[in-house]
Amino acid sequence: MIEDPKQFVEFLARHRLSSDQFLFMFLIYKEDYTSLYIYTEQVKGLHPEEIQDLVRRGYLRNENSAPGDYFADSFIVTEKFTAVAFDMTNKDAATEFWDAYPPILYIDGKRFSATAVNKELFLEKYTKKIGYSKRLHKKVMAALTYGKQINAVNMGIEKWFQSEQWNQLEKEMNETGTVKRYGDKEF
């Protein structure tokens, strides 16, 4: 994901996108329809020509039922948008989390598979929620590393992820003064 203003401006210029077009597609990608409707109804929104431009260029797919309708939640971002907007290393971040998560856990002396879920679907969910934020990915990985060290990883990967266990572990790390490290860098 774009992390500094200069990089963002260069990205917009290279792909001939306005910041409004990018924000519109980003909110759709995040499925943040509350913010999307606040933006389109109270802030500014996009003109139909700007949306048609995105559809014509293959960044958006219009799922509105009638021609001329522009209901914001009836648009879908395409692979073209995700490929240009986010680092292709996003899936690598999700895979790194998957590989670091203990595949087998023992709870009350019983052995179970902690990764007994559809891997591709899980990687997609991780990438969508976390993968394009390097800072958040590092936070998740630091919490997972800490959780494994203190034997606090005690549920399946999907439940751990959906319940955002990294937030609780981060609180504990802050309370105990544990240095939050992942890889070679502190954050």
CA 2/CA 90 separation, integer angstroms? 12
Quick one: pLDDT at residue 87?
A: 55
Mean pLDDT within 6-12: 84
pLDDT at 185: 43
Q: Indicate the pTM of the whole model.
A: 0.56
* CB-CB contact of 93 with 124 (8 Å): no
- Label residue 67 by pLDDT band (50, 70, 90): confident
Taking the C-alpha atoms of residue 17 and residue 145, their distance in angstroms, rounded to an integer, is 39
Q: Quick one: pLDDT at residue 184?
A: 43
Q: Is 121 exposed, middle or buried (0-12, 13-18, 19+ CB in 10 A)?
A: exposed
Identify whether the C-beta of residue 152 lies closer than 8 Å to the C-beta of residue 93: no
Q: For the segment 77-101, what is each residue's pLDDT rounded down to a tens digit?
A: 888 887 777 654 456 888 999 999 9
Neighbours of 8 (CB within 10 A): 14
